[in-house]
Amino acid sequence: RSFAQSLLKLLGFIFWGGAAAQAFGGVLVILMFKNYSYLFQDSYLFLPGCLALAAALILLPTGALAVSISVKYSRNQQGTLMYLLLLLLCLEMSSAALAHSYHIRTVSQLESAMNSLVYQHNWTCSQDPGSSAVDAMQRKLQCCGVHSYTDWLKASASSWHLPACVPESCCKEKHLHCRGGLGHLEQLSQEGCLKKMEDKLCLAMLYMFWCCSVLSILELLAGVSSGILLRHRLFHDLHFL
């Protein structure tokens, strides 16, 4: 019983830290899909982030109840704690499953979406920096083309009116006089955007998956600890019989 009380108190403090970690993951996922919405066809892909934020908010009172119950017994508080733990478990497992599923599905869509952006983009050498979606993506990720800068050469080769150069958004930030010419490849970001975007997506989704999975296990431990205390208290209440 004393071990269950100590564990429940410790888990209560961990839940507060877990709430901050999960809120960070939820905001990270939502912002990523918001900033790169033109690459994702499905508008519901930010759902794991929303579930994570909801779970983070519920973790705060759950942690407070866990600490309170470990110090002073209250039947109402203990019942509320068990209901919150059950709700959290559902949210965490749903968020982890969606993060894993959406990661696999979205990675397969990225290449076709990026190819479409590259082949539909119009540019000319020595033009002012563009403001299209592909330009914004290349500047944010410091990349060029889908797999490499040569993707732009393939796009220009398929259309006679496009020049043999790359958009200015391929230029590295430190080279202010770069205009996308191929004479100075060292001034261009030669790594493709697909690899960088996949890494970014994988990092966010894996963080979300493992954060939710670990918190699910801790919530199960909290439920077991609370159940041990509740079982002991029930026998103690009936001791007078």
Identify the H or E element spanning 240: none
160 pLDDT more than 70: no
Q: What is the pLDDT of residues 24-71, one digit of tens each?
A: 999 998 888 888 887 877 667 788 889 999 999 999 999 999 888 877
208 pLDDT more than 60: yes
Identify the H or E element spanning 55: helix 47-71
Percent of the chain at pLDDT > 90 equals 24
Question: What local confidence, expressed as pLDDT, does residue 235 receive?
Answer: 42
- The mean per-residue pLDDT over the stretch 14-22 comes to 94
Q: Is 193 helix (H, G, I), strand (E, B) or coil?
A: helix
Contact, 220 vs 7, CB < 8 A?
no
Question: What local confidence, expressed as pLDDT, does residue 157 receive?
Answer: 54
Question: What local confidence, expressed as pLDDT, does residue 54 receive?
Answer: 93
Distance from C-alpha of 26 to C-alpha of 3, rounded to nearest angstrom: 33
pTM: 0.78
Task: Give CA separation, 8 vs 91, 212, 228, in Å.
Answer: 20, 19, 10
Q: Which of 36, 85, 67 is nearest to 198 (CA)?
A: 36
Q: What is the pLDDT of residues 80-134, one digit of tens each?
A: 888 999 999 999 999 999 888 887 778 778 888 888 877 777 666 655 555 578 8
